[in-house]
A and B are shown apart, each in its own frame.
Chain A
Amino acid sequence: MRLLGVGASVLLAALLSVSEADGCMLCESERAAEVRAGLVDDSLAENFTAVAAPFLILAAVVALSHVCPDRRAADPSGRDHR
């Protein structure tokens, strides 16, 4: 999951570092500076949390539930006796 965070950060950093010469639509735009400033403002951390937190939390829950012992696995019939 740390990899996800790092990947998204690298993606955002790459996006913001592309120059006009690279032909990026966002960078060629007359509004590029304003858009970049809007992306990297005081709310950057909060916005990043808003995007990533649901996935990170769910991934942690799924991973935890996956490693918990499976009580049913011991029953060869696969029946649930609870």
Chain B
Amino acid sequence: MTTTRPLITAGVTLGIGMGGFVDGIVFHQLLQVHNMVSAKRPPDTVVNLEINMVWDGLFHCLTWLATAAGIWLLWRAMKRSDVPRQGRTLAGAMIMGWGAFNLTEGVIDHHVLHVHHVVERLGPSVWDWVFLGSGAALMVAGFGLVRMDRVRAPEPGAR
């Protein structure tokens, strides 16, 4: 009897954490198009920049915790003999997690609370919808990968 459920749970959790890191590292730090509360505290003064930095730090704490939880879940899953080691399923689940993060964070922070927008200098813009679209696309792509592995029977003796 085999089950991929623990592998998918671990992958999705890892994907949520790593998706959060992509957001924080790429958008907050490298491109600097927004920060956590930049719609309310535009980072155009040192004080506001420091305030945003603290909130960005708390955000990264949670992405770190999600990633750590994902690693722990993956470790537990790999110790089970009934969980097949399917790389495509894990990759698909991680992509699903990344997409789920983009969708959830996009809806809550960009469209409901308006604490920041993807390109802050534009305010609410098409980029907010592109971000949501990327989340949906990643979820579909990840789900597709997981399904591809599901239709294949595991090889005899494979874990």
Answer whether A and B are interacting partners: yes
A16–chain B nearest beta-carbon distance, Å: 9
**Residues A65 and B9 in contact, CB atoms below 8 Å apart:** yes
A38 close to B47 (CB less than 8 A)? yes
A-B contact pairs, 11 of them (CB 8 A): A12-B54, A38-B41, A38-B47, A50-B109, A51-B36, A54-B101, A54-B104, A54-B105, A55-B66, A62-B12, A78-B2
- Contact check, B54 vs A72: say whether CB atoms are below 8 A apart: no
Rounded to whole Å, the gap between the CB of B144 and the closest CB of chain A is: 13
Please give the residue numbers on chain B whose beta carbons come within 8 Å of chain A beta carbons, in ascending order.
Answer: 1-6, 9, 12-13, 16, 20, 36-37, 40-41, 46-48, 50-51, 54-55, 58-59, 61-63, 65-66, 82, 84, 97, 100-101, 104-105, 108-109, 113, 115, 147, 150-151, 153-154
Contact between A76 and B62, CB atoms less than 8 A apart: no
Complex: how many Å from CA A62 to CA B37?
Answer: 27
Q: Whole-angstrom distance from the CB of B151 to the nearest CB of chain A?
A: 6
- Whether B113 pairs with A35 at a CB distance below 8 angstroms is no
**B1 adjacent to A80 (CB under 8 Å):** no
Give the distance to chain A from B76, nearest Cβ to Cβ, in Å.
11
Question: Which of A55, A65, A75 has the most C-beta atoms of chain B within 10 angstroms of its own C-beta?
Answer: A55
A35 touches B50 (CB 8 A): yes
